[in-house]
């Protein structure tokens, strides 16, 4: 089962133009910005909200 998940995730990453498999949701803007902060990548909330 883990191999199937790995395959699905790898395909979703390498082919972002394809729709996500059933059960997977795109990340929310907040979770993306939180992850950027955790990794020490600066961002501006005002700039980020303009691109949505």
Taking the C-alpha atoms of residue 50 and residue 2, their distance in angstroms, rounded to an integer, is 38
Q: Report in angstroms the alpha-carbon separations of 15 from 8, 35, 47, 50.
A: 10, 21, 26, 25
The answer to the question of residue 12 being in a domain is: no
Q: What confidence score (pLDDT) does residue 50 get?
A: 54
Question: Does residue 8 lie in a domain region?
Answer: no
d(CA 38, CA 7): 26
The answer to whether residue 17 is domain-embedded is no
At residue 35, the pLDDT reads: 83
pLDDT tens digits for range 7-51 = 878 877 788 777 777 777 777 888 888 888 888 887 766 655 555
Residue 1: the pLDDT is 73
Residue 30 lies in a domain: yes
Indicate whether 7 belongs to any domain: no
Flag whether 9 is in a domain. Answer: no
Q: pTM for this one?
A: 0.36
What's the total number of domains in the chain? Answer: 1
3 belongs to a structural domain: no
List all residues 6 or more positions away from 26 whose beta carbon is below 8 Å from its beta carbon: 20
Q: Residue 2's pLDDT is what?
A: 80
Quote the CA–CA distance of 46 and 49 in Å, as a whole number: 5
């Amino acid at each position: 089962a883990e191999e199937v998940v790995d395959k699905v995730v790898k395909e979703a990453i390498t082919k972002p133009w394809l729709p996500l498999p059933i059960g997977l949701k795109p990340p929310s803007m907040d979770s993306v910005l939180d992850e950027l902060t955790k990794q020490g990548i600066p961002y501006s909330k005002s700039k980020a909200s303009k691109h949505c």
